[in-house]
Amino acid sequence: MSDSEVRRFTDCEYYQEGGRNSYYKIIPKDTMGNVAAGYVVVEGPETTPPNAHTDWEQAYLVVGGCGTLVLGGRRHEIETGMIARIPLETEHYVEVAEGKRLEYIYVNRFL
């Protein structure tokens, strides 16, 4: 088994999407069929950019901390050990309060 097959999330390709949020491509698109995944770290106070997807379904797996997921205009408190399904074409974003941190893995299933 090579080092590229077993590694820390934070050793994967890094990118940013607004604010101070940290994003890592842990399963890049087109490397595992129609699935992609990333690891996200949000340090409060911060909000991720609002977005909605038309060509993939998404789920968030919360692996650390807490925050608020705004999903289709409804606010949901999320914390370690929770999963959230993001339906197609549904606007969503995450808010993290001052002094808090949220870590989650997003999983995309491309249609």
How many domains does the chain contain in total?
Answer: 1
Q: Is residue 1 part of a domain?
A: no
Predicted local distance difference test score (pLDDT) of residue 97: 98
Evaluate whether 47 touches 35 at the Cβ level (below 8 Å).
no
Q: Is residue 3 part of a domain?
A: no
Compute φ and ψ for 93, nearest 5 degrees: -165, 170
Q: Is residue 2 part of a domain?
A: no
**d(C-alpha 28, C-alpha 72), whole Å:** 26
pTM beyond 0.75 = yes
Predicted local distance difference test score (pLDDT) of residue 2: 57
Predicted local distance difference test score (pLDDT) of residue 16: 86
Evaluate whether 111 touches 57 at the Cβ level (below 8 Å).
yes
The CATH number given to whatever domain includes residue 34 is 2.60.120.10
Q: Is residue 57 part of a domain?
A: yes
Calculate the alpha carbon distances from 82 to 30, 36, 104, 105 in Å.
27, 19, 9, 11
Residue pLDDT tens, the chain, 111 long: 456 688 999 999 999 887 789 999 999 999 999 999 999 999 999 999 999 999 999 999 999 999 999 999 999 999 999 999 999 999 999 999 999 999 999 999 999
Domain range for 84 is 9-110
